[in-house]
Amino acid sequence: MITARAWREYPRRYRYEAAVCQKCGRWFFPPRLVCDGCQHREFTVKPMRRTGRILTWTIIRVPPRPFADQAPYALAVIEMDDGPRITTQVVDWREGQLAVGQRVMLEFRLIQADGQAGALHYGYKAVPA
């Protein structure tokens, strides 16, 4: 991950901040410039609750090279309790444990390291609740 990009993403990665449309109240994570519900362009930044439920999931057994040491790993689309949907890695799961509708909680974890002497990038991952 490019360091400048990581720097711009710190507010949402570290504080779980979402954009809430001031007109219709829809939540967006990551934040966006235009509401896809009402096309309004003014948002309020609010922290999200860190809980949600799995909408769909899959197990990655043959990963891309940067994630080869993590295989097999689970990815899921999660509907947060505040409304936004996110795609994230699910960690600390056991075979047969993941299911549609299962409650999860976001935790702050290491996402990627840029080589042995590079920057460490942290962010959110989901764990079964």
pLDDT in tens, 44-53: 999 889 999 9
Pairing mode, if any, of strands 43-47 and 73-80?
unpaired
In this predicted structure, the answer to whether residue 99 has a pLDDT above a threshold of 70 is yes
C-alpha angle with apex 20: 122 to 79, nearest 5 degrees?
60
- Given a contact cutoff of 8 angstroms between Cβ atoms, the answer to whether 32 and 19 are in contact is yes
Read off the CATH number of the domain in which 59 is found. Answer: 2.40.50.840
* Count of structural domains, the chain: 1
Task: Name the residue range of residue 39's domain.
Answer: 3-128
Structure tokens at 47: 């922290």
Q: What is the tens place of the pLDDT at every residue in 43-86?
A: 999 988 999 999 999 999 999 887 888 889 999 999 999 989 99
Q: Which of 11, 46, 53 is nearest to 28 (CA)?
A: 46
Q: Which of 84, 70, 74 is nearest to 112 (CA)?
A: 70
Q: What rounded mean pLDDT belongs to the chain? A: 88
Model confidence, pTM: 0.80
